[in-house]
């Protein structure tokens, strides 16, 4: 289980344009890494749009914002284009980064146990260490809450 102060687990994932992103690409500046359940669901759409709306405020602090789900690149592209999402979306189809960050959970849905993502956000400092972990977040207003944490870095 990841804790505050731990070195953030590395990842290598494609984005909606199939360009590979690595944690190392963001070294030297803060990074907000938010894990969400699925593209184009109401809560996930709210969260991604709010992060996109505040992207300029994050970048003004030298901070990048990246979303991760288990959807594929094509679905990410369609989601991004449909809703005007500007933050980078990474496809973790095999769940490798989700496992490394400890966001995989088992939930009962209609009487069947299913693997899913616990909506979680990690604020990683310029040195690559986890500074904040927010789990089970409520999407509405979450981006503003995270921006406040970034301002305090």
Identify the CATH assignment for 12-151 out of 3.40.50.10470, 3.90.1150.10, 3.40.50.1450, 3.40.30.10: 3.40.30.10
Distance of CA 57 to the CA centre of its chain: 17
* Spatial contact of 89 and 37, defined as CB atoms under 8 Å apart: no
pLDDT tens-digit readout, 82-115: 999 999 999 999 999 999 999 999 877 778 888 8
pTM of the model: 0.94
- The Cα 140–Cα 77 span in angstroms is 23
Tens digits of residue pLDDT in 39-78: 999 999 999 999 999 999 999 999 999 999 999 999 999 9
Which residues does the annotation mark as catalytic?
44
């Amino acid at each position: 289980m990841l804790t505050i102060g731990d070195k953030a687990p590395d990842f290598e994932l494609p984005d909606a344009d199939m360009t590979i992103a690595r944690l190392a690409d963001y070294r030297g500046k803060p990074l907000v890494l938010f894990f969400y359940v699925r593209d184009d669901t109401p809560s996930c759409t709210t969260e991604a749009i709010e992060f996109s709306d505040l992207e300029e405020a994050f970048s003004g602090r030298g901070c990048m914002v990246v979303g991760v789900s288990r959807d594929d690149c094509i679905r990410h592209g369609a989601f991004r284009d449909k809703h005007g999402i500007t933050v980078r979306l990474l496809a973790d189809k095999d769940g490798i980064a989700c496992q490394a960050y400890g966001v995989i959970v088992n939930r009962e849905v209609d009487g069947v146990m299913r693997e899913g993502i616990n909506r979680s956000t990690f604020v990683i400092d310029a040195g690559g260490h986890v500074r904040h972990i927010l789990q089970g977040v409520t999407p509405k207003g979450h981006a503003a809450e995270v921006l406040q944490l970034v301002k305090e870095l």
